[in-house]
Amino acid sequence: MIRCNAYCSSIELYPTDSLAHETLKKILLGLDGFEFEFQIPNPGTNQGQMTSDFDGKFEQAILSRGASSHVFDLPPDVPQQLDFAFQYNDNIVAVEVEKTNREKILRDVLKAHMYLHFGADFALLALPKNYAHRHGIWNLYEFGKQRLRECQTYGFGNKERLDRIILLGFEEFDAQTRKPLDVSWRAKMRQMAKDEQR
């Protein structure tokens, strides 16, 4: 199995004029630099798809800044499962991480409304600015900002709840080279995995 150490930096929050931003900016903007790991378990499966431990390391980084872990249970008839939740200054925050699929972002905004409906005080959606795939780099954070603005503009969602949803954008870097992850990095990782399998 090929492994690559990476880290998260260049954190941004959106929107900046919301209750969510005012409440969570101190803990979230201080997360810059936490490390995580990419793996390619099997280069012959699903075009050498990469996995990572980002979600767990993201949660650990938040907890290390003074938050506490929180078990957020949804009713049995609601078939959703969030990535994790935490409690910070008496506020429950439900977290979704969307690392690769920009088409799921609008669904994540809907899920955020569900979490808020069932008792979360805020919902956080974490999105990379430089998701490297075979067709180039996708900035899921910018895509998410566009979708959230459209929700606000066209009334897709409850205004009070939209004010409690915050997007966190982050850039992924190779821990060894200190360079942002890009298409050439992805190709190199996939080639290393193929060579190891031979």
**Domain boundaries of the chain, sorted by first residue:** 2-197
Q: Across the strands, what pairs with 91?
A: 88
- Contacts (Cβ under 8 Å, ≥6 apart) of 70: 85, 86, 87, 92, 93
Q: What mean pLDDT, rounded, does the chain reach?
A: 89
Percent of the chain with pLDDT over 70: 95
Q: What is the per-residue pLDDT for 47?
A: 57
Q: Is the pLDDT of residue 44 over 70?
A: no
In this model, does residue 15 exceed pLDDT 80?
A: yes
> Which of 36, 22, 30, 16 is closest to 67 using CA atoms?
30
**pLDDT(112) > 70:** yes
Please name which of 176, 167, 198 lies closest in space to residue 43, comparing C-alpha atoms: 198
Task: Determine the angle formed by the axes of helices 140-154 and 105-117, rounding to 10 degrees.
Answer: 60
How much of the chain, in percent, has pLDDT values that exceed 90? 63
- CA-CA distance, 48 to 40, in Å (whole number)? 6
Q: What is the pLDDT, as a whole number, of residue 141?
A: 97
Cross-strand bridge partners of residue 138? 131
Lowest mean pLDDT among 70-74, 78-82, 87-91: 78-82
Integer Cα distance of 1 and 136 in angstroms: 24
Give the mean pLDDT of 60-75: 94
Residue 183's alpha-carbon distances to 20, 42, 99, 180, in angstroms, are 34, 19, 15, 10
Confidence class of residue 181 from pLDDT cuts 50, 70 and 90? confident
DSSP structural state of residue 179: -
Average pLDDT, stretch 44-62? 83
Nearest to 38 by CA among 60, 23, 53: 53
Q: Are 104 and 113 in contact (CB under 8 A)?
A: no
Number of H helices, E strands in the chain: 6, 10
Calpha distance 198→195 (Å, rounded): 5
Closest alpha carbon to 28 in 101, 86, 114, 99:
86
pTM of the predicted model as reported, rounded to 2 decimal places: 0.92
> pLDDT category, 48, cuts 50, 70, 90?
low
